[in-house]
Amino acid sequence: MLESFLITSRETLEASLVVGIVLAYLNRTNNQSYRKTVYYGIVFGILASILSAFIFMFFAGGFEGRAEQIFEGTTMIIGSFLLTTMILWMMRQRHIAKEIEGRVERHLMSSEPLFSHLGIFMLIFIAIIREGVETVIFLNAINYASGINLIGGTLGIVAAIAIGYLFFVGIKNINLKKVFGVSSILLILFAAGLVAHGIHEFEEAGIVSGIIAPLFDINFILNEKGIVGSFLKGLFGYNGNPSLLEVIAYVAYLGVIFYLYKRIESSRVKASA
């Protein structure tokens, strides 16, 4: 449940922040006539996201046996990659509002009103469909790893929309930095789990060797099919009897993320010096 909540809340929050920033800027600059364009962008972005979900499920349902294992493993690896790029992008962003407002301002400065409306529409549409497509991939990766929880996913969407709304109607005491910070840590561990799960699927398909399989087996202490084990498996990629390659992949991923994080922090210090 928590992993579904985490994914949908993070993705929806990013999209709702973009929408909120644009609407707030349009109100502040007396350009309310563009509000409908924003709403059209939201609607078409959601519809396109739903269509992408149907297309994904159509192709996913056509695989069986070894091909299914390869497809599931590939989906998990792609999901972890997209999660990583999203997390790193958020780490680099210190002035998201200014960046988005700058884009809106450039669109509004167009001499042709049609181009201004089209520019704002595409800004919202791309923000929505990008998060929508990523959510489709992430949720399917979760489904392959541990199963999707509809209640958790729905609550995540509701919570993210509520936070975005409260933040932009004037309640500024919501610390988005902490929200993104905590969720980023959990998502990093979740992405590491997806990498390990993806490697496991490739091992079962015979594409790679686990080197030593299993490396150890602690299911008698904490069974991955039990209540606690299932929770840890879904959120952090816990495996009671992993292969050596899975462990290497998990640890290597965390090492690479830590290295990139230190580089980002170092560049921030140099920029502020």
**CA gap 78, 82 in Å, rounded:** 6
Is the pLDDT score of 172 beyond 60? no
pLDDT band at 179 (very low <50, low <70, confident <90, very high): low
Query: Among 162, 160, 204, which residue's Cα sits nearest to residue 65?
Result: 204
pLDDT band at 1 (very low <50, low <70, confident <90, very high): low
Between these two residues, 33 and 265, which has the higher pLDDT value? 33
At residue 71, what is the residue type? F
Is the pLDDT score of 51 beyond 60? yes
Is the pLDDT score of 23 beyond 90? no
pLDDT of residue 97: 65
pLDDT of residue 272: 63
Q: How many helices (H) and strands (E) does the chain have?
A: 9, 0
Q: Please, which residues have CB within 8 angstroms of residue 247's CB and are 6 or more apart in sequence? A: 196, 215
pLDDT of residue 40: 94
**CA gap 157, 271 in Å, rounded:** 35
pLDDT of residue 235: 73
At residue 43, what is the residue type? V
3-state SS string for the chain: CHHHHHHHHHHHHHHHHHHHHHHHHHHHCCCHHHHHHHHHHHHHHHHHHHHHHHHHHHHHCCCCHHHHHHHHHHHHHHHHHHHHHHHHHHHHCCCHHHHHHHHHHHHHCCCCHHHHHHHHHHHHHHHHHHHHHHHHHHHHHHHHHCCCCHHHHHHHHHHHHHHHHHHHCCCCCCCHHHHHHHHHHHHHHHHHHHHHHHHHHHHHCCCCCCCCCCCCCCCCCCCCCCHHHHHHHHHHCCCCCCCHHHHHHHHHHHHHHHHHHHHHHHHHHHHHC
pLDDT of residue 65: 81
**CA gap 119, 39 in Å, rounded:** 13
* Highest mean pLDDT of the ranges 5-9, 12-16, 21-25, 44-48: 44-48
List pLDDT tens digits, range 234-261.
777 888 899 999 999 999 999 999 998 8
Query: What integer is the mean pLDDT of 27-42?
Result: 88
Q: Give the DSSP H/E element, type plus range, for residue 21.
A: helix 2-28
Residue 189: CB atoms within 10 Å:
17
Is the pLDDT score of 44 beyond 90? yes
